[in-house]
């Protein structure tokens, strides 16, 4: 059992759940000694990699059809803790086949269009400018929607990775786009930005008023952005759907109308009132338990720490409640510091499992008071029923219903959203 620094007092306060602590190490038999079998010398690596006993990986899959994507992988949220996603496990959505292999010395960024002074930057020139670092999540607009996972066997997502893994959280470092735009001098009539990726085929139009927090990033968790994530530079648009965060960024074009060039840009969100909404705003409030979830197996009754993530494109997560009895009662989970705006927020709750079948779920509230609907409430708002959605898996984008996980008596866990 892990006890996180700073969480210790809270952990001890949760004494009730701990009263009949059934795990926590095997008692030492007197005279027993530590055996160091299996202790073999390793190697010093110039660039470290995980232990060979660790098997965590990204699971790439391809899908065709309307949501065609050739390079897509989720973050294995069920294997991770804290709020920072290791760079090598950041989710990937690339519409070209493989990450382009750009030579950073040759790469240039252009700022053009309705500006007084068009600008061109090499990576080195960009790095000389005043920089900012920000921890924030990137989430694909389609994350959690069953539309994105039915390609995998037609049964809908089973695991938390499959259902919600198209969100990750990193510390991004770079230059505020607003600084570059100020330098270039935006003309009065300008109202839109068009970001363009250097691999060809990916552009996105962003209303100028959404651009304030956008970073032209060249570092991710301290080091150079990984090729999959847009090396050598990308846009990072906190709180907005991931498609705004153009990877392999080569051009920002200032204009007075949306470009309507990319497939995703024409992708729409059907609102509950039936009207379509273009140009997606901030991601909704969402949370999920990450342990225990499908794929985990609880060895037996006793103490467990339930943990998970909550996030919102609208700002800070204020509250996460967890139910361990199928939604009858809810308890406030502990929010682990740091709790940052538009970032993943880690929550924890001590739990004593009695060994009976039960359903675990979380619901969060953000600083604007936005929460998560139940699946029934959400279906009703869209003029559908849970049964219809179960049949078709045609759930909308911006899908953020409360995610239930069923713990079976044998300790296995299932995705219980539709059952």
Ligand X SMILES: Nc1nc2c(c(=O)[nH]1)N[C@H]1C(S)=C(S)[C@@H](COP(=O)(O)O)O[C@H]1N2
Query: Which C-beta is closer to ligand X: that of 94 or that of 287?
Result: 94
The 8-class DSSP code of residue 300 comes to: S
Q: Kindly identify the residues of this chain, within the stretch 374-403, that bind Mo ion according to CB under 5 A.
A: none
Query: Which C-beta is closer to Mo ion: that of 57 or that of 263?
Result: 263
Residue 87 CB, shortest distance to ligand X, in Å, is: 10
Helix, strand or coil, per DSSP, at residue 74: strand
Q: Is the previous residue joined to 232 through a cis bond, with omega within 30 degrees of 0?
A: yes
Query: Which C-beta is closer to Mo ion: that of 113 or that of 141?
Result: 141
265 near Mo ion, judged by CB under 5 A: no
242 near Mo ion, judged by CB under 5 A: yes
Q: Which does 286 bind (CB under 5 to 8 A by kind): Mo ion, ligand X, none?
A: none
230 near Mo ion, judged by CB under 5 A: no
243 near Mo ion, judged by CB under 5 A: yes
Q: What is the CA radius of gyration of the chain?
A: 23
Query: Which C-beta is closer to ligand X: that of 11 or that of 202?
Result: 202
Query: Which C-beta is closer to ligand X: that of 52 or that of 266?
Result: 266
Q: What are the distances in angstroms from CA 406 to CA 105, 186, 324? A: 52, 53, 10
The 8-class DSSP code of residue 209 comes to: G
Query: Which C-beta is closer to ligand X: that of 91 or that of 303?
Result: 91
Q: Kindly identify the residues of this chain, within the stretch 137-156, that bind Mo ion according to CB under 5 A.
A: 140
Query: Which C-beta is closer to ligand X: that of 95 or that of 348?
Result: 95
- Both tokens of 195, joined, read 């970001």
Q: Pattern of binders to Mo ion over 64-93, x per CB under 5 A?
A: -----------------------------x
Closest CA to 94 of 251, 216, 264: 264
Residue 142 CB, shortest distance to Mo ion, in Å, is: 6
Interface residues with ligand X (CB under 6 A) are 90-95, 138, 140, 197, 199, 202, 229, 242-243, 245-248, 264
Asked whether the beta carbons of 80 and 89 are under 8 A apart, the reply is: yes
165 near Mo ion, judged by CB under 5 A: no
Residue 54 CB, shortest distance to ligand X, in Å, is: 21
What is the dihedral sign for C-alpha 136, 140, 142, 144? negative
The 8-class DSSP code of residue 225 comes to: P
Helix, strand or coil, per DSSP, at residue 182: helix
Closest CA to 293 of 137, 74, 140: 74
Q: Which residues contact 52 (CB under 8 A, 6 or more apart)?
A: none
Q: Which does 247 bind (CB under 5 to 8 A by kind): Mo ion, ligand X, none?
A: ligand X
Q: Is the previous residue joined to 27 through a cis bond, with omega within 30 degrees of 0?
A: no
Q: Which does 245 bind (CB under 5 to 8 A by kind): Mo ion, ligand X, none?
A: ligand X
Residue nearest to ligand X (CB): 197
Residue 99 CB, shortest distance to ligand X, in Å, is: 9
Q: Is the previous residue joined to 189 through a cis bond, with omega within 30 degrees of 0?
A: no
Produce one character per residue of 235-247: b if its CB has 16 or more CB atoms within 10 Å, e if not. Answer: bbbbbbbbbbbbb
Q: Would you give the distance in Å from CA 172 to the centre of its chain?
A: 14
Q: Which does 121 bind (CB under 5 to 8 A by kind): ligand X, Mo ion, none?
A: none
Residue 69 CB, shortest distance to Mo ion, in Å, is: 8
Query: Which C-beta is closer to Mo ion: that of 286 or that of 348?
Result: 286
Residue nearest to Mo ion (CB): 140
Query: Which C-beta is closer to ligand X: that of 14 or that of 229?
Result: 229
By CB under 5 A, the count of residues binding Mo ion is 4
Q: Which does 246 bind (CB under 5 to 8 A by kind): Mo ion, ligand X, none?
A: ligand X
Q: Which does 395 bind (CB under 5 to 8 A by kind): ligand X, Mo ion, none?
A: none
Query: Which C-beta is closer to ligand X: that of 3 or that of 97?
Result: 97
CA atoms within 13 A on the CB side of 40: 5
What is the dihedral sign for C-alpha 203, 206, 211, 213? negative
Residue 197 CB, shortest distance to Mo ion, in Å, is: 13
Residue 321 CB, shortest distance to ligand X, in Å, is: 28
| Through-space distance between the first and last CA atoms of the chain, rounded to whole angstroms | 31
d(CA 363, CA 250): 39
Residue 386 CB, shortest distance to ligand X, in Å, is: 27
The 8-class DSSP code of residue 292 comes to: S
Q: Which residues bind Mo ion (CB under 5 A)?
A: 93, 140, 242-243
């Amino acid at each position: 059992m892990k006890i996180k620094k700073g969480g210790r007092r809270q952990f001890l306060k949760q004494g009730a759940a701990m009263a009949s602590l059934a795990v926590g190490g095997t008692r030492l038999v007197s005279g027993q000694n530590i055996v160091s079998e299996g202790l073999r010398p390793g190697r010093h690596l110039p660039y470290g990699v995980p232990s060979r006993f660790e098997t965590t990986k990204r699971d790439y899959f391809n899908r065709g059809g309307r949501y065609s994507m050739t390079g897509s992988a989720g973050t294995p949220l069920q294997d991770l803790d804290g709020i920072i996603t290791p760079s090598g496990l950041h989710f990937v959505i690339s519409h070209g086949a493989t990450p382009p292999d750009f030579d950073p010395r040759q790469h240039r960024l252009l700022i053009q269009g309705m500006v007084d002074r068009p600008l061109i930057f090499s990576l080195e020139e960009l790095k000389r400018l005043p920089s900012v670092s920000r921890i924030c999540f990137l989430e694909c607009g389609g994350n959690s929607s069953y539309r994105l996972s039915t390609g995998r066997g037609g049964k809908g997502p089973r695991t938390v990775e499959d259902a919600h893994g198209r969100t990750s959280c990193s510390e991004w470092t770079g230059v505020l786009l607003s600084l570059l735009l100020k330098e270039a001098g935006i003309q009065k009539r300008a109202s839109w930005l068009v970001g363009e990726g250097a691999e060809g085929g990916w552009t996105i139009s962003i209303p100028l008023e959404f651009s304030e927090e956008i970073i032209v990033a060249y570092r991710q968790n301290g080091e150079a952005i990984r090729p999959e994530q847009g090396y050598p530079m990308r846009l990072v648009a906190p709180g907005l759907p991931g498609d705004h965060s153009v990877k392999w960024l080569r051009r920002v074009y200032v204009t007075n109308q949306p470009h309507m060039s990319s497939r995703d840009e024409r992708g729409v969100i059907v609102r509950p009132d039936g009207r379509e909404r273009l140009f997606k705003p901030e991601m909704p409030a969402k949370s999920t338990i990450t342990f225990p979830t499908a794929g985990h197996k609880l060895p037996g009754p006793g103490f467990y720490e339930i943990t998970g993530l909550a996030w919102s494109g609208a700002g800070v997560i204020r509250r996460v409640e967890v139910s361990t009895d199928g939604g009858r009662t809810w308890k406030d989970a502990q929010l682990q510091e740091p709790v940052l705006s538009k970032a993943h927020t880690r929550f924890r709750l001590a739990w004593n499992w009695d060994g009976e079948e039960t359903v675990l779920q979380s619901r969060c509230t953000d600083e604007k008071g936005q929460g998560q609907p139940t699946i029934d409430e959400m279906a009703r708002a869209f003029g559908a029923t849970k049964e219809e959605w179960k049949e078709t898996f045609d759930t909308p984008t911006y899908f953020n219903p409360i995610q239930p996980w069923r713990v079976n008596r044998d300790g296995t866990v299932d995705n219980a959203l539709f059952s």
